[in-house]
Structure 1
Amino acid sequence: MPRKEQGWITFQTSEEERKILEDFCHDSQRTKTEILRELVRGLHKHQASQASIPTKQVNEEDSEIPVVEISSRKKALKVSSRNILKGVVKKVVTGAVNCEVTLEIVHKVELTSMITKTSAEDLGLAEGEEAYAVIKSNDIVIARE
């Protein structure tokens, strides 16, 4: 079966573009495929958010006033830990102070971490959401984009 029918996409990049992608992959400890998939998935969200943002407003005299769009994009989190594993939240057990968060890294491979209830709320951790297990020494820390 040809690659195209298997879902493969092949495209050319400049030397500079290739270097940017490779550096980003190295810094984020992710593969090119993971990065490109995230970019493609983000297009749908970007398209939906762009549809609801007006580019111009009309004042009382019916004349158009341009709207300045301010980006709220966050920069990627950089951490010293080299073991960063992307997963999906399978379970969040909330206690009075702490939460037990279980991520499925790959099929039937799960990691569980105890984090504060406040951290779980701040990260918006919920079943089915993507998150990262950041492993340093004997601790597993949960992070989210």
Structure 2
Amino acid sequence: MPRKNQGWITFQASAEERQILESYCQRSQRTKTEILRELVRSLESAAVDPPLDDAKDLEEAEIADVPQASDDSFDWAISARNLLRAEVKQVTLSGVSAEVTLTIGSTTELVSVITRASAERLHLSVGKEVYAVIKSNSVMIAAIAP
């Protein structure tokens, strides 16, 4: 039996809550432990910055420390080689996370799950031009065996 002094946390969840977590894990291809750790780590920033109520608030949020520069006057650089210009198609807020669907080109969609705080800081809204930055130590490829 896990013990509290070993770092284990146990709690009861309803069947509906367990189903939500399972579904989220499948969609994001991450484990329950990874999801719950992200949730716990996000609580510190959530305590400082109250969460937005819905996507409309996300579009209207004003965050003072974000540079408000035009493309001509603001330069930035990044080390990642895979930088894809995209447009935000949808932002779905859920607790401490945000699922962001991007359109790349005319037919390709990319879905990213980021923290709600990041979505707020980036002022993500439908139609906003953004960049998908893909940096990974490994890219796995799967195929159906012949």
Structure of larger gyration radius: 1
For normalisation by structure 2, the TM-score amounts to: 0.43
